[in-house]
Structure 1
């Protein structure tokens, strides 16, 4: 029997573990950009989808495998890149393969100091497109090609924002219909899978640093790419190899802690909600209930309350939580706290009121929005 390339074997094993929970004829979609990570994922899914459940005692069964290619239209030639990625997926045997053109308001806007702009908008549009195609095709899962390197970059970005343990927990392996089989693989392994499979991958120019010799680079370089090209190499040179794996391990440990604390914080928030007060866009919380809680739990509950009235998770930092906490434990008649997304919070008559922006996007009822990550 021919020897399988170690990188190919690792990729297939990772995919096999995710597909094991699917039933015969279930549909799984690969989000494919044409880059090394997503093409390696597409090749692994195409192989493993034909043998789900196979063991020494079972012949196994097949699941259906397809792909979604999202064209953001941000770069010249993006349509051609998307079609080429779709053709590669079809050649691997994936079916259906859907190319979806993502659109969003302000797609021509430049980057902003708080991490908004085209990068964040493109991420939101991409997930919206993936969810729409999954609903249209009846897909059970959508697989994403994020790697261990992406996870390490995410942890560093979260650390820089000072957004707390949830942000440092990085990207989850599972969220809704989304799965990330490759969070245990390095980017070099996905490139090796492509090489072993005869796949030519596309390199997004925004993932590269501008030419140092160029006097004035004329393109925007996302912060993530700068972490990848500048920060991580310095950390590895200074602290030694293994920093990527160490950051990912920290994310796994913090995610377990954050899940438990979020559950407790949601319970506290429910206890603090004042029955009969508040609306879909305004939440009223009993200050006395919050004051009695442990500071760490109270602060986490206040952050969840901010998310519930439409504050973007990636922009809601420790500074905003400090302002909310001061309204609870250090109130001396100060005015409202201004929160991301145009939301506000103020205190009156023993109540903490959080109000969504008139153009915001509150959750509309339960008072708790699930924690989210900043990159997916």
Structure 2
């Protein structure tokens, strides 16, 4: 039985093209047994209709703060008391600003101020608006008051821009809501986890670099899942477009050598778990050009001299940087065979293998499917969103720790 059965969830919808996704979120919540009330702002009305929302929620949609008919039944204060959770998806930059300032100039902001229930936001806006210092300041203010922030995701936007600001997918929001209403057991309290994520960038000259297609989504999801269970998490990340999870220490790097230095610093005082989820470049330039390399008219070829980068996880494993060493094997063929070889050659406890040649999982996708290997066991979690899979993997690593402890 879902933990959402009979939960009373008030879904707020503000103005934004992502509002169409909220219809699917409401459908998922209703299917799980939750009772849904919808509040639609004036901006939200430009993107979704009250009739559609009433059909999927099973209740009349509220939009006016001073609605005489509503006051005869469930007034705005009663509606604030009714909710077990207020979920705002999408949450626009304008709404975040007004909520952070404590304004109550429409029904939705009034409900957020009047409720004692948890409030969660799924931000959605243009990437430049999300990065603006005012929005980031409002974000910090809301988080400091206990507001849960879900996302935003990164990728192509309706305006044509690419970057952080997309509303999380309905399935990911559904999973996050389940976690919010059913607190995760704090079984990692007292542990320190160090996790790498994203690609590395190896400079060729001041304007060019060698990199790969890693989005960082899996590593960031693992960091969020471990922190939710009580671990102190250090996330060493190459360049991504993802907002760092709340209460996670982010160490931003670019090159593989910088990542190794950062990981050594993070594990210097000991770590319980190290997860190498980053896609680290195997090679770097032997000599980085000090100025931009220019094309020459007398040749159509260019030769770059590369040298090997340090093998970060093998190095840390040999130095016993963490009690449990976990690696990733992103392969395009012979996935399990190559993963087993890496498990043995790098001296790892666990390795997580995935087939990045598949277009439906892996790099830049919201879903993933993996196989987890130890020296004598194999686990195959079902294909799911990266956030849901991260929860499974963190639990699997915890159970592995318990097994190893009981064997010693």
* TM-score relative to the length of structure 1: 0.27
Higher share of residues assigned strand: 2
* Structure with higher helix content: 1
Of structures 1 and 2, the one scoring higher in RCO (CA 8 A, sep 6+) is: 1
TM-score (norm 2): 0.26
